[in-house]
Amino acid sequence: MNSIKFPLKDIQFVLLDMDGTLLDKYFDDYFWEHLVPEKYAEKHNITFGKAKDELMKLYRIHEGTLNWTDLDFWSKELDLDIPALKEQIRHLIEVHPHVEDFLKMLKRNKKKIFLVTNAHYKAVDLKLKKTRIGKYFDSVLSSFDAGSPKESLEFWREAEKRLGFDKEKTLLIDDSEEILTTAKEYGIKHVLYKAKASSNTIPKPSKDFLSVFDFNELMDES
């Protein structure tokens, strides 16, 4: 695997997305596209296919809003205990390869590491307990704390205020091109696209952003 050359010496702050970037998105895809439709179908005595169609339409309405990752919202909306269902399949929560090596490398180089996520705090708690990578972060900021999703400029204004990073000396890694576009517009100088979000899908590099498939590409400390 070739190393991606990025100016580590010029970067003091590293902002990292969680789902799809550090963690395998297979867990979330399986949860929302298979387990939730299955339970919804059982509850309403309809076929899995019909349940999935209904839910996909509903998901699309709320995508890109705070509701999208709000577990309490979906519990009420679907009349299902969403946090309890996530607990049932917590064994599927996995860290992407070489993530921990990358985090250790950042620590060795005395970088400030922040987790910035749209995930609900209940999901963050569950995943950090399962993966034990929370110890590497100087701080964790969710869109619920910031009051806006990462797709909006308001999130990044609030993030800068709360986390105190310098935009010129900051690297953001995310698996959403929309979020990277917003962050770049806000002025974050260094951005990388995590092309392999899920172990179950074929990764596609971005046309607009430098893409990383595996964190071992970022391990050259020279």
Q: Which residues are catalytic?
A: 10
Sheet with 211-212, strands from edge to edge, namely 139-142, 112-117, 13-16, 170-174, 190-194, 211-212
| DSSP string of 122-185, one letter each residue | HHHHHHHHHH--GGG-SEEEEHHHHTS-TTSHHHHHHHHHHH---GGGEEEEES-HHHHHHHHH
- Distance between CA 126 and CA 67 in Å, rounded? 19
- Distance between CA 220 and CA 207 in Å, rounded? 24
Q: What are phi and psi of 118, to 5 degrees?
A: -85, -5
- Distance between CA 201 and CA 26 in Å, rounded? 8
Give the CA radius of gyration of the chain: 18
